[in-house]
Amino acid sequence: MDKLNLKDLYDGFRQPEVIKSYAKLISQEATKLPKPINIMEVCGGHTHSIMKYGLNQLLPQNVNFIHGPGCPVCVMPKERIDHAYTLSLQENVILVTLGDMIKVPGSNGNLQDARAKGADVRFVYSPLECLKIANQNPDKTIIFFAIGFETTTPMTTALINQVIKKDIKNILFHINHITVPEPMRVLLDDKTNTIDAFIGPSHVSVISGSKIYDEFANKYNKPVVVSGFEPLDVMQSVLMILKQFNEERCEVEVEYSRSVSKDGNLVAQKLNDKYFERREHFRWRGIGDIANSALKLKDKYAYLDAEVKYADILPTKLIDDHKLCICGEILKGKANPKDCKVFGTACTPSSPLGSCMVSSEGACAAYYKYGNLL
């Protein structure tokens, strides 16, 4: 597909007249609802689409978006940021990670501060760029600080696969990959939650399949619609959710059927299972410890694990967020950025107090960037 046709394809999902037509259909379905409903968009990518295109303003008053914990940078606890900061300052180390990590505050500062102190911190679009960096710096240890949900995990396993296959000696891994279903379960187990349905992330589901959401429909009686990120995708997903309520159904449906199957990418899943196992515990920023919600390298591959090699110097203290930051409540769907007393004043993208203002997927960053749509 050439560039022109690809642009036409994306434009087709952003046509104002079509989006407004969906808004009318949603309003018609909303008149039949037995009660107001809160739809949690799990992923920060959806939050940004909602805010950028003003989709929240197109919904009737009895249908509301609430924001979820699907921003991997936002939920990274300070102690893990402190690991990255500490590793970056070690002699002969090049720390490599994804760009969103540069301003996430830890207890001692962020990776931008580490750079200012002389650390060699590099930001990449693909983990495989570490291969070139390692080849160009044979006397350095390259540590890839891996983050992300099921979407980015296969990219890390692809790098691990190449490191082992090519017997590369100067690349290590600090693994911070997390998974979507576990925090969703924790939120629903909280008796004070107000979640009525979920919009599930399509990119995660391409890898894991829509099957990972079955329990939320079957056990918790919460409809889930796996949605693409274009505005038309989101509006169609909202309509599908309302129809489930009005037809007294509770199912997992896939709006993003052009790429998502029930079983997902079995090849990627197999490769992930080859190198990774579940962590017994992992602390989510603002949410707390969630069992089996993150991955780590299997013992067989401990020789590649920076957490093992540098265990003696890595901080172990658990660090709480700034006392004025309400990112935790935002990530649980119990607040939005407008509820924060320091939003847009003491806390801005250039001087963030909390992680939700840092990440390009953070809810606070979305509200700040698209504030004229509020």
pLDDT digits (tens, 9 = 90+) for 317-363: 888 888 889 999 999 999 999 999 999 999 998 888 888 998 878 99
For residue 129, give both structure tokens: 């760029």
Cross-strand bridge partners of residue 337: none
Q: Which CATH architecture has domain 78-177+265-309?
A: 3-Layer(aba) Sandwich (3.40)
Cβ atoms of 153 and 295 closer than 8 Å? yes
Residue 3's pLDDT band, with cuts at 50, 70 and 90, is low
Q: Where in the chain is the domain with CATH 3.40.50.11740?
A: 78-177+265-309
For residue 116, give both structure tokens: 């200012």
Please measure the distance between the N-terminal and C-terminal CA atoms of the chain and give it in whole angstroms: 37
**Which amino acid does the sequence have at 61?**
Q
* pLDDT of amino acid 153: 97
Neighbours of 361 (CB within 10 A): 20
Cβ atoms of 335 and 329 closer than 8 Å? yes
pTM of the prediction?
0.92
Distances (CA, A) of 338 to 60, 328, 367, 374: 20, 14, 8, 9
* Distance (Å, whole) CA 76 – CA 283: 8
For the cut 60, the answer to whether the pLDDT of residue 4 exceeds it is no
For the cut 70, the answer to whether the pLDDT of residue 112 exceeds it is yes
Using one digit for the tens of pLDDT, what is the confidence trace for 228-267? 999 999 999 999 999 999 999 999 999 999 999 999 999 9
12: left (phi over 0), alpha (psi -120 to 50) or beta: alpha
* pLDDT of amino acid 271: 95
**Sequence-distant (≥ 6) Cβ neighbours of residue 178 within 8 angstroms:** 72, 75, 148, 149, 282, 284, 293, 294, 295
Neighbours of 320 (CB within 10 A): 12
The DSSP element (H or E) to which 129 belongs, if any, is helix 129-136
Instruction: Give 17-55 as a 3 state SS string.
Output: HHHHHHHHHHHHHHCCCCCCEEEEEEEHHHHHHHHHCCH
For residue 193, give both structure tokens: 């939650």
Residue 173's pLDDT band, with cuts at 50, 70 and 90, is very high
**Sequence-distant (≥ 6) Cβ neighbours of residue 219 within 8 angstroms:** none
Here the contacts of 240-246 (C-beta below 8 Å, separation 24 or greater) are 241/37, 241/39, 241/197, 241/199, 242/26, 242/29, 242/30, 242/33, 242/37, 242/63, 243/29, 244/197, 245/33, 245/34, 245/37, 245/196, 245/197, 246/29, 246/32, 246/33
For the cut 70, the answer to whether the pLDDT of residue 8 exceeds it is no
* Distance (Å, whole) CA 327 – CA 52: 20
For residue 269, give both structure tokens: 């899943």
Mean pLDDT along residues 272-281: 96
Cβ atoms of 90 and 310 closer than 8 Å? yes
